[in-house]
Structures are given as C-alpha cells and as structure tokens.
Homo-oligomer: A and B are copies of this chain.
C-alpha cells in the first residue's frame, strides 16, 4: 500500500502468487479494516464523516488508505459533491456486492471453526 522496493526477495516472490486468483482476492480484502468497511457499506452508502464517526478507533490515515485501496481495486466508488462543506460518499460497486455472499460463507465457516478451536 506504499512504494515497494524492486528486486528484493519479497518482491520477486510475488510472481509466485500473482497468478493465483485466490491470493488476489484475499489480498484485495486483506487490509486490516477493509472487511469492517465492506460490512458497513453493504448496509448503504456512507460519507467519510460517517465512517470516521462509526470507526473512531481507526486513524484517519488508515481510513483514507483503506478506502483508496478499495477504490483502486474496484470495490467501492467515491463520489464527491461540490457542496460547502464538501461531501464525499462511498458506495459498493457491483463487484463488491457479488463478493458479499462469498464473505458470508467465509464468516459462517469462521464461526464454526472458532467454536471447534476452543
């Protein structure tokens, strides 16, 4: 989510992952706060200040970073309204909406798995 050094082993190893669609999908939702944000946005469009209020424990920096990353990966759309003060709204894309039921399956699996683990 920042700049990367080329030619480190870490970078070079990426080629072994990059052609794995599963890894890609997990990467896309893998940021620390992305799932929480997806879960919020599935209930409807939110503006930046709403997210900031609801997730007050997420630093503003991380909030914008995760949102930007999700926008780049085609999970959300960012709409800017030229009002005063500015209003910025975030909405799920169709692709993200397709993802939701799969995440629900994952969630159910996680639930079962955790109850088994204790």
**B residues within 8 A CB of A74?**
113, 116-117
Interface of A is mostly: helix
A51 beta carbon closer than 8 Å to chain B = no
Once bound together, how far apart are the Cα atoms of A108 and B24, in whole Å?
11
- How many copies make up the complex? 2
- A109 contacts B by Cβ under 8 Å: yes
Question: How close is A65's CB to chain B, nearest CB, in angstroms?
Answer: 14
Given contacts A109-B99, A109-B102, A116-B74, contact A39 B17 (CB under 8 A): no
Residues 94-117 of chain A: 1 if any B CB is under 8 Å from the residue's CB, otherwise 0? 010011001101111111111011
Q: Nearest Cβ in chain B — how far from A10, in angstroms?
A: 9
